[in-house]
């Protein structure tokens, strides 16, 4: 049970970097960016490429973030410059990345256990906590800057951003690049944690990200103090733990993707049909009845 908790925490921390990345597109920009499915394994494959070429683990990990932003640039180009719908743009990027990832190393599965990783010499959970904290703090600081607020305003009301004299597309580009960079970073962390990069590790990863965001928003709904990023981290941890619990209770690891989807469905329906909300709705109806 103890290893179960520790593994859930460690994987949850890796997924919280993913969730913070996806928040930028899905929650802030209101842009359903599916390219994540390709960017997550891309991070793992870029890391594999650099580490097998002889770069240090820290440099390799940082490079996955920087190169990951290019996936955002591609989605932006498809969506804004070529005017392809957001959803399709993301899917196209993911599809291109699938081939690009295979081309990069020439293989669909690369073992990394014989190479250095950023976890060497430390407990993974400590390293991960430090990375997640750094990402969270930087993200929170960024969202308080003038540019950060314009990013939020772009998702909220593009007309306003234009009336402020700014080109709203610029902020979509910043958001998409930042988001994909973080997702790629998360993929690189996962590759080092599990000891291999594999082409199918991105399949269904968008559901994992959305699940983390929704769980975080649902469980901590009534807290006004918690920031978006904190919610995402808590959500990823809780979500990962539920999944691990399900497997511990006897479900096969192959069932995991269905469990992921089930968690999303359950939390979404809870948000819609929660007893509190239903009671409120009935109350409103009753009051309206009196008025009539």
Residues 159-218 that bind another protein (CB under 8 A): 159-168
CB-wise, 150 or 247, nearer to another protein? 150
CB-wise, 171 or 193, nearer to another protein? 171
CB of 106 to another protein, least distance (A): 40
Q: What is the rounded CA–CA span in Å between residue 16 and residue 129? A: 10
Contact 38, 93 (CB under 8 A): yes
Cα–Cα distances (Å) from 42 to 22, 63, 161, in that order, read 15, 11, 33
Task: Choose among 8, 2, 6: nearest CA to 236.
Answer: 8
Q: Which of these ranges, 108-116, 144-152, 203-211, 214-222, lies near another protein under the rule CB under 8 A?
A: 144-152
Interacting residue with another protein among 146, 252, 254, 292 (CB under 8 A): 146
Interacting residue with another protein among 156, 265, 271, 284 (CB under 8 A): 156
Residues 26-85 that bind another protein (CB under 8 A): none
Task: Choose among 32, 15, 6, 29: nearest CA to 263.
Answer: 15
CB-wise, 149 or 273, nearer to another protein? 149
Note whether 248 binds another protein by CB under 8 A.
no
Note whether 153 binds another protein by CB under 8 A.
yes
CB of 195 to another protein, least distance (A): 38
CB-wise, 56 or 159, nearer to another protein? 159
Q: What is the rounded CA–CA span in Å between residue 116 and residue 101? A: 21
CB-wise, 120 or 156, nearer to another protein? 156
CB of 202 to another protein, least distance (A): 30
Cα dihedral value 151, 153, 157, 159, nearest 10 = -80
CB-wise, 103 or 224, nearer to another protein? 224
Binding residues with another protein: total (CB under 8 A): 22
Which 3 state secondary structure label does DSSP give 196? strand
Note whether 152 binds another protein by CB under 8 A.
yes
CB neighbour class for 253 (10 Å; exposed up to 12, middle 13-18, buried from 19): exposed
CB of 151 to another protein, least distance (A): 10
SS3 letters for 36-94?
A: HHHHHHHHHHHHHHHHHHCCCHHHHHHHHHHHHHHHHHHHHHHHHHCCCCHHHHHHHHH
CB-wise, 164 or 265, nearer to another protein? 164
CB of 155 to another protein, least distance (A): 8
- Residue 218 CB neighbours (<10 A): 17
- Contact residues toward another protein (CB under 8 A) are 142, 144-150, 152-153, 156-157, 159-168
């Amino acid at each position: 049970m103890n290893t179960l908790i520790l593994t859930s925490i460690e994987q949850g921390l890796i997924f919280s970097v993913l969730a913070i990345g996806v928040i930028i597109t899905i929650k802030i920009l209101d842009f359903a960016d599916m390219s994540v499915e390709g960017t997550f394994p891309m991070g793992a494959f870029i890391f594999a490429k650099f580490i097998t070429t002889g770069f240090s683990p820290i440099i390799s990990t940082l490079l996955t973030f920087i190169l990951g932003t290019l996936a955002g640039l591609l989605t932006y180009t498809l969506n804004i410059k070529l005017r392809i719908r957001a959803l399709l743009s993301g899917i196209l990027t993911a599809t291109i990345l699938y081939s690009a990832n295979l081309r990069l190393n020439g293989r669909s599965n690369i073992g990394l256990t014989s190479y250095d990783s950023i976890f060497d010499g430390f407990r993974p959970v400590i390293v991960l906590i430090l990375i997640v904290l750094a990402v969270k703090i930087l993200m929170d600081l960024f969202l308080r800057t003038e540019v950060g607020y314009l990013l939020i305003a772009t998702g909220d009301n593009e007309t306003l951003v234009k009336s402020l004299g700014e080109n709203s597309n610029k902020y979509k580009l910043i958001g998409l690049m930042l988001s994909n960079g973080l997702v790629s970073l998360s993929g690189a962390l996962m590759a080092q944690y599990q000891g291999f990069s594999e082409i199918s590790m991105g399949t269904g990863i968008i559901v994992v990200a959305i699940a983390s965001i929704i769980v975080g928003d649902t469980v901590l709904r009534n807290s006004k103090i918690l920031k978006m990023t904190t919610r995402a981290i808590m959500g990823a941890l809780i979500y990962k733990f539920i999944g691990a619990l399900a497997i511990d209770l006897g479900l096969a690891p192959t069932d995991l993707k269905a469990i992921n989807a089930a968690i999303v469905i359950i939390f979404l329906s809870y948000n819609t049909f929660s007893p509190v909300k239903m009671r409120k709705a009935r109350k409103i109806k009753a009051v309206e009845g009196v008025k009539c």
